Structure 1
Amino acid sequence: MREGRVIINPATGVLAQYYHRYAAFLAMHGFDVLTWDYRGIGLSRPADLRGCGYRWQDWGTQDFAAALTFMAGRRGGPLIVVGHSIGGFLPGLAAGAEQIDRLLTIGAQYAWWGDYAPRRRLALLLKWHIAMPVLAALCGYFPGRRLGWLEDLPAGVAHEWAFRRMRFELSHPVAERSEVTRRMASVRADILAVGVSDDELGTPPAIRRTLGYYTGADRTAVLLHPADYGRQSIGHFNLFHDSHARSFWRETLTWLRDGQNPWPDRVTLQARPASDGETGSSPVSGGRHPARY
């Protein structure tokens, strides 16, 4: 008997291969796991990225939707999504997302520059919102691999990231905006959103902004700290390193398998579905450490 079906959604410009060790860990613990590359990335990359026309939102409305259809057709326990960074936001863009039973997000955000950690905001603004679109316009795609800045990106993806506005739906044509928010609100999965105190991208404000769109879901956010795992830093990517197999990875099983929050003393936000009379997210005081950016 399978524990559940898990789809792992990558961060922007990160190969599915980066998550294979975590996927193998989950498979060893009884889960049926799918890893996959967004169009334009890794094994889903065309021979030439120039002129391909791929957009960030396509990763949710088309690519994740296809992954969801595939895994929904398999038997064996609840349907679960693990979403890293943008991978935690994309489920809400897909038709059929109401089928998801449980969602674990890590540093989930959609890259509005105002949510970046204040100490790094200017540098990240120059890198991702000025240099990236300029290079994408000059090259016809963003040459991230050559620069050591993640994988290469289709120009459309780079453009959407660079010019993302404070409200996600404002990046869409007026006629599409209500449908974007309606789809996000249709998600009924229980959501556990993990943040790390030294993550310069997936900061607590960025995570709250993402959760604010999932108004039909029961949402909990937790903030972890490098010191919890005996480390000086973790940042936006390190939780998927196999050095966390006996700590963070094992802790995630409590949520993926049983739907129980393994970090109850780290809760920073809890919100019930709006249909229960709640109109938004409520911050929760307490925990062993305050949030630091």
Structure 2
Amino acid sequence: MTGHDVRTESLTIRARDGYPLAAHAVVPERPKAAVLISSGTGFPKEFYTRIAEHGAARGFACLLYDYRGIGGSVPESLRGFKADMTIWGRRDMPAAIDAAGALAPGKPLFTVGHSVGGHLIGFAPNADKALAHAFVNVGSGYWGKHAAHYKPQALFFWLAYGPACLAALGHIPGGGLWGGTALPKGVFTQWRRWCFQPDYFCGELPDLRPNWFDDVTAPIRSWGMTDDPIANRASTPDLLRLYSRAPVEEIWLDPAELGQTVIGHQGLFTRKGEAFWPKPFDWFEEVMDRGEATGP
């Protein structure tokens, strides 16, 4: 690992419609590239601090942020708050892409997307500013392709726990049986609808315009864990095929390859996944070394 003087900074990003988004930058003194790290659903930006610090120590300026209604971007009240995943993609992610690029002007820009962070690339009109996309645990959310042991938990969340929370509170509260951050009602209901469709949101794409899945041509490297009950070998190709013009590569890792017994859907961003952290940045350096990368 290359040593770099690193500064950290909390900042506010204005989404495309002006909504304030909480963000955190981890920036080396002389960055060689910028990386936007986009969260999975219900994961606050702080969850990704360790991998961002690893990247910054290697010369990559990393930006973490919370979508509206999540973590530090939550409003005073979630009751009646308007947010869904397409808004995250069309309004929030584009602003974060611009803000990440501004951390290293004239340098290459890359993205790391965890779970829904990979879904949203196709809804961001400026995703073409990034020269490569690293997907981590990204797959369709269709419940029928979850691992068998996980299906009862998923169905309980969608059909019992979630609706009860909406009836009582108007949103999904953080923690409890859900375990993640609070979720706005619109995020939950849209996500649930997609997760009960075998083609996830693919069949809705004509009605989810504008979107830019067919415009993404930068390479995508998708890392998955063999013990991930959600983004698995059955569901990941369903999502990746949406990026029809992008060169796509799938890499599957067993927990034992990382010195662990269990990794699952989010463990790659915890201490358990420390052996994984170099992989996206190694790949970004390969892209730059091949001369494929220039500043946006």
Query: Into which bin does the TM-score normalised by the smaller protein fall?
Result: 0.7 to 0.9
CA contact (8 A) 1:194 1:224 kept: yes
Amino acid at match of 2:283: W
Any residues of structure 2 matched to 1:164-175 within 5 Å, and which?
Answer: 164=194, 165-167=197-199, 168-171=201-204
Q: Equivalent residue for 2:116?
A: 86
How far apart are 1:4 and its partner, in Å?
1.4
- Give the corresponding residue for 1:254: 282
Structure 1 residues 187-266: aligned runs within 5 Å:
187-245=216-274, 247-259=275-287
**How far off is 1:152 after superposition?**
0.8
Displacement of 1:113 in angstroms is 1.1
Higher relative helix content: 1
CA contact 2:85–2:120 (8 Å) conserved in 1: no
Shift of 1:158: 0.7
Q: Residue 37 of structure 1: CA displacement?
A: 0.4
Aligned-residue offset at 1:250: 2.1
Assess, with a 3 A threshold, how the Cα gap between structure 1 residues 254 and 129 changes in structure 2: closer, same or farther. farther
When normalised by structure 1's length, the TM-score is 0.81
Q: Structure 2 vs 1, CA of residues 177 and 169 (structure 1 numbering), >3 Å: closer, same or farther?
A: farther
Runs of 4+ in 1 over 4 A off after TM superposition: none
Q: CA deviation at 1:128?
A: 3.3
Tell me what 1:40 maps to: 69
| Aligned twin of 1:67 | 96
Aligned to 2:171: 141
Query: Residues 44 and 70 of structure 2 are in contact (CA less than 8 Å); yes or no, is this contact kept in structure 1?
Result: yes
How far the C-alpha of 1:258 sits from its partner, in A, is: 1.3
The C-alpha deviation readout for 1:144-189, integer Å capped at 9, x for no partner, is: 32445211100000111111123314446x5x34643xx1111111
Root-mean-square deviation (CA, aligned residues, Å) is 2.0
1:108 is aligned, of 123, 132, 138, to: 138
Amino acid aligned to 2:198: M
Whether the 8 Å CA contact 2:263–2:272 is kept in 1: the answer is: no
The offset of 1:56, in angstroms, is: 1.6
- Structure 1 stretch 38-47 or stretch 62-71: which is displaced more? 62-71
Instruction: Give the partner amino acid of 2:50.
Output: R
**Alpha-carbon distance between aligned partners in 2 of 1:137 and 1:101, rounded to the nearest angstrom:** 44
Letter in 2 for 1:251: K
CA contact (8 A) 2:123 2:210 kept: no
Q: Which moved more, 1:134-143 or 1:27-36?
A: 134-143
Query: Quick one: which amino acid aligns to residue 115 of structure 1?
Result: K
Partner SS state of residue 68, structure 2:
coil
CA distance in 1, matches of 2:286, 2:54: 17
Separation (CA, whole Å) in 2 of partners of 1:76 and 1:237: 32
Residue 52 of structure 1 deviates from its aligned partner by: 0.6
Q: 8 Å contact 1:22–1:242 — kept in the other structure?
A: no
Deviates more, 1:113-122 or 1:68-77: 68-77
Aligned to 2:152: 122
The question of whether the paired residues in 1 share the 8 Å contact of 2:112 and 2:133 is answered with yes
3-state SS, counterpart of residue 180 of structure 2:
coil
Distance 1:129 1:257 in 2: 44
Give the TM-score taking structure 2 as reference length. Answer: 0.80
- Identity of paired residues, percent? 31
Q: By how many angstroms is 1:2 displaced?
A: 2.7
| Aligned-pair CA distance for 1:199 | 0.4
| Shift in Å, 1:244 | 3.4
Instruction: State the AA in 1 paired with 2:84.
Output: R
**Does the 8 A contact of 1:12 with 1:86 survive in 2?**
yes
- Indicate if the aligned counterparts of 1:101 and 1:189 stay in contact, CA closer than 8 A: yes
Q: Distance in 2 between matches of 1:114 and 1:54?
A: 26
Instruction: Write the deviation string for residues 215-260 of structure 1: whole angstroms up to 9, x where unpaired.
Output: 1100000110011122211101111113433x21123321122139
Q: Partners of 2:135 and 2:94 in 1: how far apart? A: 17
Distance in 2, matches of 1:240 and 1:134, equals: 31
Structure 1: runs of 5 or more not aligned: 261-293
Change (3 A) 1:131 1:91: same
Partner Cα distance (2:76, 2:285) in 1: 40
